[in-house]
Amino acid sequence: MQKRTLGRDFEVSAIGLGCMSMTSAYGPAGEKSEMIQLLRNAHELGVTHFDTAEAYGPFANEELVGEALEPIRDKVTIATKFGFDIDPVTGERRMGTNSRPEHIKQVAEAALKRLRTDHIDLFYQHRVDPNVPIEDVAGTLKDLIAEGKVLHFGMSEAAVQTIRRAHAVQPVTAVQSEYSLFYRGPEAELLPALEELGIGFVPFSPLGAGFLTGKIDENTQFDPTDFRNYVPRFTPEARKANMALVDLVKSVAARKGATPAQIALAWLLAQKPWIVPIPGTTKLHRLEENLGAVNVKLTEGDLKQIDEAASSLKLEGARLPEAVLKMTGL
């Protein structure tokens, strides 16, 4: 597996593993022993970077990742997140965000226990808290880094000016936001700013929440607990209208002898050398397929063809429900 560097010196595998779907969001949680084996298989296949969060469960995902990676902790890096208002005892998720300094420190201590480790490699603010100055958040991370409990500070779904303010207090190593051929919002302002500041980028939903794999169409029925049931871009009408993008990816895949998922990931990898996508899966064959994207080489001609064809498409539906989009501030 190729390696990439986020920020100044945080080296990780070129493709990481997003762990959220193993316990939440995309339907029922996977069987625990199978998910532990999948996490260990990922490392055997070259993945060194694993992404989780206290909110995935809540808590269950961190516990799963901690148990799975404990035997190989010194060979991997783990990213987790703080920032939602979650009761530390019951796991009840209250409405809104909470990035008060004392809360961040409590979450860090709890995450260390669940992850069975003495340090968090990358600690993201999951969502910006409008009630806490970002300078206070960055200052708290600076303290945690000085104590050795956290190695790197990250931000998720943050606006450029907020990132700049935080970075001035404590250097930000990575920013995580949605980015793929299915959602290209970061290209306008975020990517240029990250390049200027020397901050890495970790796209979540790099396969468009599965849409770019070519395995979803307007007739696909999602599990009742699957978050895509509530996403405007995943209504049957939107899926039908957006199939033109999937057809484009499929045509490139056929010509390159790859799968649509591999083309979507290879496209992301080709955008910048400091981009590290984190596709998630609960299946070994999908994991192997996704990691194969590092061997797919898209030429300048391929990239130009994809951009020209994609720019003529008008995708239907917002990427997230309106209430969730308001929380991001983007």
Q: Report the chain's C-alpha Rg in angstroms.
A: 19
- Tokens 């060979």 belong to residue: 75
248-307 pLDDT, tens per residue? 999 999 999 999 999 999 999 999 999 999 999 999 999 999 999 999 999 999 999 999
Both structure tokens of 118:
């003495």
Ordered domains of the chain (ranges, CATH): 3-328 (3.20.20.100)
Other C-beta atoms closer than 10 Å to the C-beta of 108 total 21
CB 38 within 8 A of CB 66: no
| CA triple 25-31-32, angle to 5 deg | 100
CB 296 within 8 A of CB 67: no
Q: Distance of CA 99 to CAs 128, 213, 219, Å?
A: 8, 36, 41
Residue 325 has pLDDT above 90, yes or no: no
Q: What value does the mean pLDDT take over residues 24-41?
A: 96
Least Cα distance to 280 among 75, 4, 51, 5 occurs for 51
- Taking the C-alpha atoms of residue 116 and residue 67, their distance in angstroms, rounded to an integer, is 7
Active-site residue, selected from the candidate residues 26, 56, 124, 183: 56
124 is catalytic: no
Q: What angle do CA 69, 52, 16 make, to 5 degrees?
A: 75
pLDDT at 20 over 70: yes
Q: How far is CA 275 from CA 41, 81, 278, in A?
A: 23, 19, 10
What are the CA-CA distances from residue 256 to residues 48, 128, 241 (Å)? 27, 40, 25
pLDDT digits (tens, 9 = 90+) for 202-244: 999 999 999 999 999 999 999 999 999 999 999 999 999 999 9
Q: Return the exposure string of 209-240: e unless at least 16 CB atoms fall within 10 Å of the residue's CB, then b.
A: bbbbbbebeeeeebeeebbbeebebbbeebbe
Mean pLDDT along residues 128-143: 98
